Amino acid sequence: MKVTGGGNVLEYGPEQEGPQTPGKDPYWQDSVVLVWWDLENQVGGMHRIGHEVNVASGPQVTLWNYVFSPDHIFKREDRVPLREGDRAGRTFNSGDDTCIFEYTDHPIWRINDQDVRAELHVKDHHTPVDIYPKKGAMADDVAPNHMEVAGRVSGELTIMGKHYQINGFAFRDHGWGTRKWDVFVSHRWMAGVLADGTMLFAQTFHSSDDHLVRFGCMIKDDTITYAKHVDILAYLEPDGLTHRGGRVEMTLTTDEVITVECTPLQKGIVSWIHGIACVDTICRIEHNGVVGICDFETTNNALRGSHRPLLAINGIVENGMTRLG
């Protein structure tokens, strides 16, 4: 991959697609994520399989399995014992076979959870890259190794008996190493893909040492351009938790300014992970007339509290199937 405007890029290959060799840190984790949306059918999902292999009570899987349709939202957030074989080859298993990631010559996700069935195939637009900072709390305690890639998704989805042929946008990542969730004070994460294959990525991260990190990039035509300034504004609801989307502005090292409005396509999902309430909302975006989607993810915990919020104006808190309308 080429770099314009300065900087270097760390590229990953197939050997980084599967589970990685665990470290000894009790906070060591290994997780894969898929965010996807089909604009024509108005269906999509967000799936995360996180393997926490050094938990004192025994290895665990943190599972986020979320699916959206015009009529229903399915949420399953769970912790499941990690079984022997759940990390075989280039496979991540949810611990109960309800959500499986496999990398063959491309990424495949299979969902079989209650009233949801899906098989999703992802075609990457570019080489997987690690654009995260390599110093400070982000590198030491949150994301020492983290690959991102934008692409397309195809396949099939059935939810509550209704079947869809999928043709949409995809964004996926794989992160491994130490992950200390109590370091999060607040963060904003916009991971987007446009119809022409462009990836837009921006993040701000406020850590418990009261430092604020801002970083981002654009990847287009197998060329990465980093941001020298990033600003992310979330349109926060009165609940102080969920949001109505937001605005992202990046000034690239080439002095190009990218401004994107993130407009929610559906309610967000509130996940409770290690004392942190994390909101993921899939949004419509547009840049230079080209449409796409993003995951606009936020956390807000400036008071460093441990209360699990139950009020979510524009989000889903409880597990299960929510009927819309």
309-321 average pLDDT score: 97
| pLDDT single digits (tens) 111-129 | 999 999 999 999 999 999 9
State the virtual CA torsion across 146, 39, 313, 163 in degrees, nearest 10: -100
| pLDDT single digits (tens) 184-204 | 999 999 999 999 999 999 999
* Cα 94-99-100 angle, rounded to 5 deg: 85
Provide the 8-state DSSP code for 286. Answer: E
Residue 325 has pLDDT above 90, yes or no: no
User: Which band of pLDDT confidence, cut at 50, 70 and 90, is reported for residue 158?
Assistant: very high
128 touches 170 (CB < 8 A): no
Closest CA to 244 of 227, 219, 224, 261: 261
User: Which band of pLDDT confidence, cut at 50, 70 and 90, is reported for residue 5?
Assistant: confident
Task: Provide the whole-model pTM.
Answer: 0.97
Tokens 């314009």 -> residue? 4
256-281 average pLDDT score: 98
Residue 270 has pLDDT above 90, yes or no: yes
| CB neighbour class for 202 (10 Å; exposed up to 12, middle 13-18, buried from 19) | buried
Provide the 8-state DSSP code for 54. Answer: T
* Cα 22-23-25 angle, rounded to 5 deg: 130
Residue 6 has pLDDT above 90, yes or no: no
In the chain, domain spans: 26-314
| pLDDT single digits (tens) 60-100 | 999 999 999 999 999 999 999 999 999 999 999 999 999 99
**For the domain 26-314, what is the CATH code?**
2.40.370.10
| pLDDT single digits (tens) 144-156 | 999 999 999 999 9
